[in-house]
Amino acid sequence: MKLYVKFDINTLCRKVLDQQLKEHGLRYRLLSFGEVELYESLNQDQHRIFQNKLADYGIEVIENQKIALVQKIKAAIVQLVFSDEIIPVKASVYLSEKLDHSYGYLSNLFSEIACTSIENFIILQKIEYTKELIVRGKQNLTEIARKLNYSSVAHLSSQFKNTTGLTPSQFQKIMSKRRRLESAANHKIS
Protein backbone atom coordinates (compact mmCIF):
# COMPACT_ATOMS: atom_id res chain seq x y z
CA MET A 1 0.00 0.00 0.00
CA LYS A 2 1.24 3.46 -0.83
CA LEU A 3 0.46 6.51 1.19
CA TYR A 4 0.80 9.92 -0.46
CA VAL A 5 1.45 12.78 1.90
CA LYS A 6 1.72 16.51 1.55
CA PHE A 7 3.78 18.42 4.03
CA ASP A 8 4.53 22.02 4.82
CA ILE A 9 8.30 22.32 5.12
CA ASN A 10 7.97 25.61 6.97
CA THR A 11 5.78 24.12 9.71
CA LEU A 12 7.95 21.02 9.92
CA CYS A 13 11.16 23.04 10.33
CA ARG A 14 9.58 25.35 12.91
CA LYS A 15 8.47 22.35 15.00
CA VAL A 16 11.92 20.73 14.84
CA LEU A 17 13.61 24.03 15.73
CA ASP A 18 11.19 24.64 18.58
CA GLN A 19 11.75 21.14 19.94
CA GLN A 20 15.56 21.33 19.72
CA LEU A 21 15.77 24.82 21.20
CA LYS A 22 13.65 23.70 24.17
CA GLU A 23 15.71 20.51 24.62
CA HIS A 24 18.86 22.62 24.83
CA GLY A 25 17.24 24.92 27.40
CA LEU A 26 17.64 27.97 25.18
CA ARG A 27 15.48 31.05 25.51
CA TYR A 28 14.51 32.16 22.04
CA ARG A 29 11.98 33.67 19.70
CA LEU A 30 11.15 32.21 16.28
CA LEU A 31 11.07 35.04 13.75
CA SER A 32 10.30 34.69 10.06
CA PHE A 33 11.17 31.51 8.17
CA GLY A 34 14.75 30.50 8.88
CA GLU A 35 15.40 33.05 11.64
CA VAL A 36 15.70 32.48 15.35
CA GLU A 37 16.60 35.12 17.90
CA LEU A 38 18.47 33.68 20.90
CA TYR A 39 18.25 35.68 24.12
CA GLU A 40 21.67 34.49 25.27
CA SER A 41 24.91 33.61 23.50
CA LEU A 42 26.11 30.06 23.02
CA ASN A 43 29.67 29.04 23.77
CA GLN A 44 31.55 27.13 21.04
CA ASP A 45 30.73 23.70 22.47
CA GLN A 46 27.02 24.52 22.83
CA HIS A 47 26.97 25.95 19.30
CA ARG A 48 28.66 22.86 17.83
CA ILE A 49 26.36 20.44 19.70
CA PHE A 50 23.27 22.39 18.65
CA GLN A 51 24.44 22.52 15.01
CA ASN A 52 25.07 18.77 14.99
CA LYS A 53 21.65 18.06 16.50
CA LEU A 54 19.94 20.17 13.82
CA ALA A 55 22.05 18.52 11.11
CA ASP A 56 20.40 15.20 12.04
CA TYR A 57 17.18 16.75 10.65
CA GLY A 58 18.83 18.24 7.57
CA ILE A 59 18.77 21.74 9.07
CA GLU A 60 21.94 23.79 8.75
CA VAL A 61 22.85 26.83 10.83
CA ILE A 62 23.90 29.52 8.37
CA GLU A 63 26.48 32.08 9.41
CA ASN A 64 26.25 34.23 6.27
CA GLN A 65 23.25 36.59 5.83
CA LYS A 66 23.42 36.37 2.03
CA ILE A 67 23.14 32.59 2.13
CA ALA A 68 20.26 32.93 4.60
CA LEU A 69 18.45 35.28 2.22
CA VAL A 70 18.91 32.82 -0.67
CA GLN A 71 17.35 30.12 1.54
CA LYS A 72 14.41 32.46 2.17
CA ILE A 73 14.08 33.04 -1.59
CA LYS A 74 13.99 29.27 -2.18
CA ALA A 75 11.43 28.76 0.59
CA ALA A 76 9.24 31.57 -0.80
CA ILE A 77 9.42 30.05 -4.29
CA VAL A 78 8.46 26.60 -2.99
CA GLN A 79 5.58 28.18 -1.06
CA LEU A 80 4.48 30.08 -4.19
CA VAL A 81 4.66 27.09 -6.55
CA PHE A 82 3.21 24.45 -4.21
CA SER A 83 0.41 26.69 -2.92
CA ASP A 84 -3.10 25.26 -3.19
CA GLU A 85 -4.39 28.61 -4.36
CA ILE A 86 -3.37 30.48 -7.49
CA ILE A 87 -1.37 33.55 -6.55
CA PRO A 88 -2.31 36.19 -9.14
CA VAL A 89 0.97 38.15 -9.19
CA LYS A 90 4.23 37.59 -11.02
CA ALA A 91 6.91 35.73 -9.10
CA SER A 92 9.14 38.82 -9.16
CA VAL A 93 6.46 40.92 -7.44
CA TYR A 94 5.66 38.13 -4.97
CA LEU A 95 9.32 37.71 -3.96
CA SER A 96 9.98 41.45 -3.70
CA GLU A 97 6.97 42.00 -1.47
CA LYS A 98 7.51 38.90 0.66
CA LEU A 99 11.23 39.50 1.23
CA ASP A 100 11.21 43.30 1.25
CA HIS A 101 14.00 43.70 -1.33
CA SER A 102 14.03 44.75 -4.96
CA TYR A 103 13.74 41.88 -7.40
CA GLY A 104 16.97 42.99 -9.09
CA TYR A 105 18.89 42.59 -5.82
CA LEU A 106 17.25 39.23 -5.07
CA SER A 107 17.91 37.96 -8.58
CA ASN A 108 21.59 38.97 -8.58
CA LEU A 109 22.18 37.57 -5.11
CA PHE A 110 20.42 34.29 -5.95
CA SER A 111 22.48 33.84 -9.14
CA GLU A 112 25.71 34.60 -7.25
CA ILE A 113 25.05 32.18 -4.36
CA ALA A 114 22.97 29.43 -6.00
CA CYS A 115 24.77 29.44 -9.38
CA THR A 116 21.45 29.46 -11.21
CA SER A 117 18.74 32.01 -11.85
CA ILE A 118 15.55 32.48 -9.86
CA GLU A 119 13.63 31.79 -13.06
CA ASN A 120 15.37 28.44 -13.53
CA PHE A 121 14.74 27.48 -9.90
CA ILE A 122 11.05 28.35 -10.34
CA ILE A 123 10.87 26.18 -13.47
CA LEU A 124 12.48 23.25 -11.61
CA GLN A 125 9.97 23.60 -8.76
CA LYS A 126 7.05 23.80 -11.20
CA ILE A 127 8.22 20.65 -12.96
CA GLU A 128 8.58 18.82 -9.62
CA TYR A 129 5.05 19.85 -8.69
CA THR A 130 3.80 18.85 -12.15
CA LYS A 131 5.30 15.38 -11.65
CA GLU A 132 3.63 15.15 -8.25
CA LEU A 133 0.26 16.19 -9.70
CA ILE A 134 0.61 13.73 -12.60
CA VAL A 135 1.37 10.91 -10.15
CA ARG A 136 -1.71 11.81 -8.09
CA GLY A 137 -3.74 11.61 -11.32
CA LYS A 138 -6.55 13.90 -10.19
CA GLN A 139 -5.94 16.72 -12.69
CA ASN A 140 -5.36 16.74 -16.41
CA LEU A 141 -2.54 18.73 -18.04
CA THR A 142 -4.80 21.68 -18.84
CA GLU A 143 -5.75 21.99 -15.16
CA ILE A 144 -2.13 21.58 -14.06
CA ALA A 145 -0.96 24.24 -16.56
CA ARG A 146 -3.60 26.66 -15.30
CA LYS A 147 -2.76 25.92 -11.65
CA LEU A 148 0.93 26.67 -12.26
CA ASN A 149 0.25 29.86 -14.26
CA TYR A 150 1.44 28.53 -17.61
CA SER A 151 0.11 30.33 -20.65
CA SER A 152 -0.69 26.99 -22.30
CA VAL A 153 -0.30 23.22 -22.02
CA ALA A 154 2.26 23.47 -24.84
CA HIS A 155 4.41 25.81 -22.73
CA LEU A 156 4.22 23.45 -19.74
CA SER A 157 4.99 20.44 -21.96
CA SER A 158 7.98 22.21 -23.52
CA GLN A 159 9.50 23.10 -20.14
CA PHE A 160 8.74 19.61 -18.81
CA LYS A 161 10.54 17.98 -21.75
CA ASN A 162 13.49 20.39 -21.55
CA THR A 163 13.88 19.63 -17.84
CA THR A 164 13.17 15.88 -17.67
CA GLY A 165 13.82 14.70 -21.22
CA LEU A 166 10.28 13.32 -21.34
CA THR A 167 6.94 14.78 -22.36
CA PRO A 168 4.32 14.86 -19.60
CA SER A 169 2.43 12.10 -21.46
CA GLN A 170 5.53 9.88 -21.55
CA PHE A 171 6.08 10.51 -17.84
CA GLN A 172 2.42 9.66 -17.15
CA LYS A 173 2.73 6.35 -19.06
CA ILE A 174 5.91 5.42 -17.19
CA MET A 175 4.27 6.13 -13.83
CA SER A 176 1.15 4.14 -14.80
CA LYS A 177 3.33 1.19 -15.84
CA ARG A 178 5.29 1.44 -12.56
CA ARG A 179 2.03 1.42 -10.54
CA ARG A 180 0.79 -1.65 -12.44
CA LEU A 181 4.09 -3.47 -11.84
CA GLU A 182 4.08 -2.55 -8.13
CA SER A 183 0.45 -3.63 -7.83
CA ALA A 184 1.22 -6.96 -9.53
CA ALA A 185 4.23 -7.48 -7.26
CA ASN A 186 2.12 -6.73 -4.17
CA HIS A 187 -0.53 -9.24 -5.30
CA LYS A 188 2.14 -11.94 -5.74
CA ILE A 189 3.39 -11.29 -2.19
CA SER A 190 -0.11 -11.56 -0.66
- For 105-163, how does the pLDDT look when each residue is reduced to its tens digit (9 = 90+)? 999 999 999 999 999 999 999 999 999 999 988 899 999 999 998 999 999 999 999 99
DSSP-derived 3-state class of residue 139: coil
| Helix or strand (DSSP H, E) at 37 | strand 36-38
User: Is there a single domain that holds both residue 151 and residue 132?
Assistant: yes
Domain count within the chain: 3
User: Is there a single domain that holds both residue 140 and residue 99?
Assistant: no
Task: In whole angstroms, give the CA distance from residue 185 to residue 168.
Answer: 26
CB count in 10 Å sphere of residue 103: 17
User: Is there a single domain that holds both residue 90 and residue 150?
Assistant: no
**Residue span of the structural domain in which 50 resides:** 9-55
User: Is there a single domain that holds both residue 164 and residue 111?
Assistant: no
User: Which range in 26-30, 79-83, 152-156 is most confidently predicted, on average pLDDT?
Assistant: 152-156
Whether 59 shows a pLDDT value over 90: the answer reads no
User: Is there a single domain that holds both residue 111 and residue 138?
Assistant: no
| Residues 7-30: b if buried by 16+ CB within 10 A, e if exposed | eeeeeebeebbeebbeeeeeeeee
Whether 187 shows a pLDDT value over 80: the answer reads no
Its pTM surpasses 0.85: no
